[in-house]
Structure formats: structure tokens, C-alpha cells
Amino acid sequence: MKIICEKEKIIKALNSVTKAVSSKTTMPILEGILIQTNNNEVKLTTYDLEIGIEYIIDCEVQEEGAIVVNATMFSEIIRKLPNTEITIYVNENNLLVIECEGSLYKLATMNPSEFPELPQINIENSIQIEQNILKDMIRKTIFAVSNEENRPIFTGCLFEISNNKLNLVAVDGFRLAWKSKYLQSKVNDFSAVIPGRTLNEINKILVDSFETLKIGVAKNQALFELENCKIVTRLLDGEFLNYSSVIPETWETRIRVNKENLQNCFERISLISSSSMEKEKKYPVKVSIDIGKVIISCTNQTGDAKEEMYVSTEGKNLEVGFNPKYFLDACRSIDDEEIFVDFGTSISPCIIRPVNDGDYIYMILPIRMKE
């Protein structure tokens, strides 16, 4: 195998494929990148048995072939080379040689026949969506995916097509994020739960543009296809939460507030809330709603904190406790200037939504306050 390629093209491919390199494995081959040539194209592939990524680049292929090389070492060397053409080939000792101007590196290789094949997916349902739209939808939901492995279904995000609308839903048992978007073309209803880790990596690959990607789903696999990049991932098994049945349709108390002001209040109050000397204890903040104002307060061994804001209020007065991190995550994900915060009782879920965006809902469960 021998190829000559611009560094910029290789780096773009490496930025994508290295996201599927296994970091903890007893199989060294999974720590590698499979490099394969085909006419004037080179395909880079990585696969950790959960997520697999292929990336194709155009370059000058002087000799056909395939090889596996350690992904970390290969990518670090390439990144530090000058921004010009790089020659890569396998020598008579089966070492991968990297040449660029005055630089010369030789790396040990692995047998490409031992590299596991990516699953072949017989797509049953698919959609097309603009990359910037999907990127925004993932950003607004992914933080609510659970990290608890004892409920594996919630470590993923629900992709649901219903009545030509894509719903992305994430839930971790304490909060729920739901973002929806109508699709431009008619598609069948279907649903799949995609691992949160996969979506995090996909979101790093997506670009903020109107370019489209195709998402295809089979029985236990999903395929994301971009212009010259393919991402394969397993799906999570199990029954996802019937999310629409747990979101309150009515409220007892509502505030309308500037999102940035509320976010700033919670960021300041978190300095006290999260600074407890007893690190294992979680100290909630108390949200007190009176006519025309909200008081946010917290007390622990570190000290006391109180923030008072004048806001538009409707309904009953209320006192309720929350984990401030959940409020902050919601505020940081909302782009609108103003939000509604809807409350039921002191023990029922709270709903946060942008004033001008009916396609985004964020729900938080309260924390019981000590008397």
C-alpha cells in the first residue's frame, strides 16, 4: 500500500473516526485504524463493537492495500506534521512509513484480516434531515440522558417518528428533555433508542450547515450517512418511558422570566449549594413564588444565599425545592430570551419551555424540602 495525500484531508477524516476507537479493550486490534485503498480513494475505519465509523477521502493511490495501525500514535504524528502532502506506505518489514518533508516515522502494524467487520444493516426505515437541525436537537436533549447503567434504556435517547414529526427524548429519572421537529418529506412512523455516547460523538462530527444526512434504522442497528462518512451504532433494547403521559398538561403557578437573568441567579446560588463540606450531601435550592417575584435561596454549613427577581407571575403562591444543576442545564440549552416556568404543587414536576418555541419542553422533578 502506498498513498500520497494532503494533511488537511487526513486530519478531517481522523477527527471523525478516532471517536470510535476503543480505549478500554483486551483486543489491541480495536485500538487501531483500518486503512484501505480503492482506486483513488482511501477508507479509514474504526470500530469498538458499539459504534463504528468509516470515512472516505480522495488521494493519490500508488499501490493498493490495507493495514491496521494504532490510532492514537498515527493520528498524533499526522497532527504534528507540516501542512503539506504526506506519503504513507507499508515497507518490506510490514511497518507503516510516514514521510513528510524532513520527517520520517515507522510504525508497527496489525493484520487487517483480524479487524472486525462493521455490521451490514438492512435498513427498514429512514429519514433525511439537515445537519444543523439534528445538531441543535441533540444539543437540547443529550444532557438529560442517564449515566446509570442499572437502567440501560435511559442511557440512550429516543428517536421517534410520529405523524411526520421527529421527537428526540432523553430522561434520567429526575428530568426529561423533549425536542421535536416536523420533517419536510413524508416518512413512516418508527422509533429507536440510540446510545447517548453515540449521539455525543455524532454531534461532534455534524457541521452547522444545511447539508443533509440520512438516518437509517434496522432491527438492532442504526446508520448515519453523511457525504463521505458513515456511522454505525447498536440500538438499545427495552421499553422507553411513555413520555407524553408523564408531562403535565396544566399548571397551578406560572412565571415568565428573562432566561439569562434566571440562569445568572442559579449560577450564583450554586456557589453555596455545591460547596458543602459534606460532599455526599445534596443541598437543594428553595424557589419561593409570590405575586410578581421569585426568591431563590439555599442554606448549608458553608453559608446562606438568597436571590430575588421581579417577574411576571400567574396563579398561586408556591414554595418548592430543586437541584440547581437541572435548572442550569435547561437554561443553557435554550436560545430564546424569555421562558415560561410552570409549576403544579411542591411535589409535582416543573416544566420549562421557551416562550416562542412550542417544540421544546424540559421537565424537572422537585426535591422534598426539610421543614
Q: Give residue-wise pLDDT tens across range 20-50.
A: 998 888 899 999 999 999 999 999 999 999 9
User: Would the pLDDT of 258 be above 90?
Assistant: yes
Q: Tell whether the model's pLDDT for residue 280 goes beyond 50.
A: no
| Mean per-residue pLDDT, 280-301 | 86
User: Is the pLDDT reported for residue 256 higher than 70?
Assistant: yes
Using DSSP's 3-state secondary structure scheme, residue 124 falls into: coil
Q: Where are the alpha helices (DSSP H) in 233-321?
A: 259-273
248-364 shares the fold of 2-114: yes
- The pLDDT value given to residue 261: 96
Predicted pLDDT at 140: 97
> Which amino acid does the sequence have at 329?
D
How far is the C-alpha of 235 from the C-alpha of 202, rounded, in Å? 14
Query: What is the average per-residue pLDDT within 96-103?
Result: 96
**Domain ranges, ordered by start, for the chain:** 2-114, 125-244, 248-364
Residue 150 makes CB contacts below 8 A (sequence gap 6+) with none
User: Residue 166: how many CB atoms within 10 A of its CB?
Assistant: 20
d(CA 128, CA 370): 50
In this prediction the pTM is 0.91
Is the CB of residue 31 less than 8 Å from the CB of residue 217?
A: no
343 burial via Cβ count (<10 Å: 0-12, 13-18, 19+): buried
Q: Thinking of the domain 2-114, which architecture would CATH place it in?
A: Roll (3.10)
Mean pLDDT of 313-342: 95
DSSP 3-58: EEEEHHHHHHHHHHHGGG--SS-S-GGGGEEEEEEETTEEEEEEE-SSEEEEEEEE
Q: Hey, what CATH class is 248-364 in?
A: alpha beta
Q: Using CB atoms within 10 A of its CB, is residue 315 exposed (0-12), middle (13-18) or buried (19+)? A: middle
Residue 275's pLDDT band (cuts 50, 70, 90): low
Grid cell in block for residue 236: 438499545
* CATH code for the domain defined by 125-244: 3.10.150.10
C-alpha cell at 51: 459504534
pLDDT of 203 over the 80 cut: yes
Phi, psi of 9 (to 5 degrees): -70, -45
Phi (first) and psi of residue 333, to 5 degrees: -90, -10
* Residues 70, 56: Cα–Cα separation, whole Å: 19
Query: CA 284 → CA 67, 320, 323, 367, distances in Å?
Result: 55, 10, 5, 7
**What's the CA gap between 201 and 179, in Å, rounded?**
19
User: In this prediction, what percent of the chain has a pLDDT beyond 70?
Assistant: 98
The reported pLDDT for the residue numbered 282 is 60
Residue 277 — very low, low, confident or very high, per pLDDT cuts 50/70/90?
very low
- Is pLDDT of 242 > 50? yes
The helix or strand, by DSSP H or E, that contains position 156, with its residue range, turns out to be strand 156-162
pLDDT in tens, 331-368: 999 999 999 999 999 999 999 999 988 899 999 999 98
pLDDT of residue 199: 96
